[in-house]
Amino acid sequence: MQPRSSPTGVSAPRLASARQWERTVASDFLMWRHTQTSRSRARLESVCAAVGVTLDWWLARGQVAADAVARQLPATLTGCDQLAFTDTSEAMAYLVLHLADRYGRITQALELLLGEGWLPIRRSRMAVLDVGGGPAPGLYAAVDLYDDLAAWAASTGQPVSPARVSGAHALDRGAAWDQLLHHFSEHLLGVRQVLPGELPARLPFGATTPSWAAFRSWAPTTPSVPGSSGRSRASTTSPTIRSAPAWPGSWRTRSRPRPPAPTSSSSCATS
């Protein structure tokens, strides 16, 4: 199996499966993202900067009070699972404390998935859903990673053209997230410098607050055990990426076992 040459001199291997391609190119892509272009650091720094700009903008216009945000900081650090996030001060305090940290963690998780060959990829219409993530760190991390992967694949002449995220959706019970996400995405776009020829990222501009009764009636049950009601508590802290293989017609995606599901944990955990 001969690699195909690319305009940049980086070999673009013709591989038999999606997983094989991901595992083969992961180290080159991550070196490009972290070392050669420093895109990963620049994106994280822009998220941090946009958090500050969003807070300043809301304070200056009286949409939230500084003392109200400060009073919510302890609760959002240690007990945010008990917060309803119907109040803007709660949502802003959580965004200030957790968004950049969660963005970094989910970025690392997505990069590990790529290295193991488990990252979902599509030719087009890549949709990402962040459920119960508050300020949707999973969406921002996924949008940035897929944008960078698409840019790298094009610049190195890869036989795969991974799609950028075209639909970023947030689902959360907290009503305060809708407006805050809209303003944060606007400020993030303002902080970032879009290079000539690049398309702006498809960021989320709001969150949907569903009727959770429908979700509770749908939730799968677990085998009954003594002292248990028989219904599991669904974890709502991870982004969900719906996708299909993005390989040329001659490629085949081999069936493979699912990776183990992540363990549910408190969204306030700091380590």
Cα(122)–Cα(163) distance, integer angstroms: 6
* pLDDT for the residue numbered 240: 53
Dihedral through CA 33, CA 35, CA 39, CA 43, nearest 10?
110
In this predicted structure, the answer to whether residue 155 has a pLDDT above a threshold of 90 is yes
Residues 93/76, Cβ–Cβ less than 8 Å: yes
Give 52's contacts (C-beta < 8 A, 6+ positions apart): none
In this predicted structure, the answer to whether residue 150 has a pLDDT above a threshold of 50 is yes
Residues 177/85, Cβ–Cβ less than 8 Å: yes
Q: Which residue has the higher pLDDT, 88 or 224?
A: 88
Give the confidence band of 19 by pLDDT, cuts at 50, 70, 90: confident
In this predicted structure, the answer to whether residue 229 has a pLDDT above a threshold of 50 is no
Query: Strand pairing of 126-131 and 165-171?
Result: parallel
In this predicted structure, the answer to whether residue 245 has a pLDDT above a threshold of 80 is no
Q: What is the mean pLDDT of the chain?
A: 78
In this predicted structure, the answer to whether residue 251 has a pLDDT above a threshold of 90 is no
- CA pseudo-torsion sign 247, 249, 254, 256: positive
Residue with tokens 């809708």: 178
Q: Which residue has the higher pLDDT, 189 or 199?
A: 189
In this predicted structure, the answer to whether residue 257 has a pLDDT above a threshold of 70 is no
pLDDT digits (tens, 9 = 90+) for 100-145: 999 999 999 999 999 999 999 888 888 999 998 899 999 999 999 9
For 172, how many CA atoms within 13 A lie in the half-sphere containing its CB? 31
* pLDDT for the residue numbered 98: 96
Q: Which residue has the higher pLDDT, 90 or 267?
A: 90
Give the confidence band of 215 by pLDDT, cuts at 50, 70, 90: low
In this predicted structure, the answer to whether residue 220 has a pLDDT above a threshold of 60 is no
Mean pLDDT of 73-91: 92
Instruction: Tell me the three state secondary structure of residue 171.
Output: strand
Residue 72 belongs to what H/E stretch? Answer: helix 66-78
Q: Which residue has the higher pLDDT, 3 or 179?
A: 179
In this predicted structure, the answer to whether residue 230 has a pLDDT above a threshold of 80 is no
In this predicted structure, the answer to whether residue 27 has a pLDDT above a threshold of 70 is yes
Mean pLDDT of 145-156: 94
Q: Domain locations in the chain?
A: 18-213+236-242
pLDDT digits (tens, 9 = 90+) for 6-18: 444 555 555 558 8
* pLDDT for the residue numbered 69: 96
Cα(158)–Cα(55) distance, integer angstroms: 41
Question: DSSP letter string over 2-69?
Answer: PPBP-TTS--B---SSHHHHHHHHHHHHHHIIIIIS-HHHHHHHHHHHHHHHHHHHHHHTTSS-HHHH
* pLDDT for the residue numbered 250: 32
* pLDDT for the residue numbered 208: 73
Q: Which residue has the higher pLDDT, 231 or 162?
A: 162
Tokens of 146: 């897929």
Q: Which residue has the higher pLDDT, 254 or 57?
A: 57
Residues 208/102, Cβ–Cβ less than 8 Å: no
Instruction: Specify the range with the lowest mean pLDDT, choosing from 112-116, 201-205, 214-218, 226-230.
Output: 226-230
